Amino acid sequence: MKIQNLTTQVQYGENEESRVDELELMELAKAAAHKAYAPYSRFRVGVALKMADGTLFSGSNQENAAYPSGLCAERVTLFYANAQKPNVAVDTLLIYAETDEGALEQPITPCGACRQVILEKEHLQGSPITIILCGRDKMYRIRGIDNLMPLTFVGDVLPK
Ligand code: THU
């Protein structure tokens, strides 16, 4: 067997280096996080999406006393956007998280299940999504889910 190194690319920066449209998404995601329904984890996540037609969507994590029934902010927002505008591409997805102490110092990264859902939307639309992860001061900018999840599974291999 041979070893092959797979590389991914992430841009690291300060929030203040963000473009104006990204700052707008950041504010939207923060406002969404404040509306999270997270009484069990007290971990509030907000997501803001910019669609290719300029529409903005936002959403937050929604928990449940039957824990596995809850859903991450990324999937709440992506599923809602796809329900409203199934034929419009997602251009940018921004993620922000906070606890009772305020914004997390480090950006959070999406869970595996959410990465899979981002992947399917990219696959459907045929273009990469810019994923922005925001901490209190620092941000990561990632162009395309491949950079967060190599060797992905897409439905192409399923029998027709
Ligand atoms: N959560 C998200 O909404 N997005 C993430 O990227 C990570 C985790 C939520 C799920 C749950 O409501 C809480 O944060 C704690 O895991």
Instruction: Kindly report, residue by residue over 104-141, the tens digit of the pLDDT.
Output: 999 999 999 999 999 999 999 999 999 999 999 999 99
The active-site residue, picked from 74, 98, 105, 120, is 74
Give the nearest ligand 1 atom to 70 CA. Answer: 12
The pick from 35, 40, 42, 43 for probing ligand 1's pocket by mutation, whose C-beta has the most ligand atoms within 8 angstroms, reads 43
74 belongs to the catalytic site: yes
Q: Whose CA is nearest to atom 2 of ligand 1?
A: 72
Side chain identity, residue 14: E
Instruction: Kindly report, residue by residue over 90-104, the tens digit of the pLDDT.
Output: 999 999 999 999 999
Instruction: Kindly report, residue by residue over 38-89, the tens digit of the pLDDT.
Output: 999 999 999 999 999 999 999 999 999 999 999 999 999 999 999 999 999 9
Give the nearest ligand 1 atom to 62 CA. Answer: 12
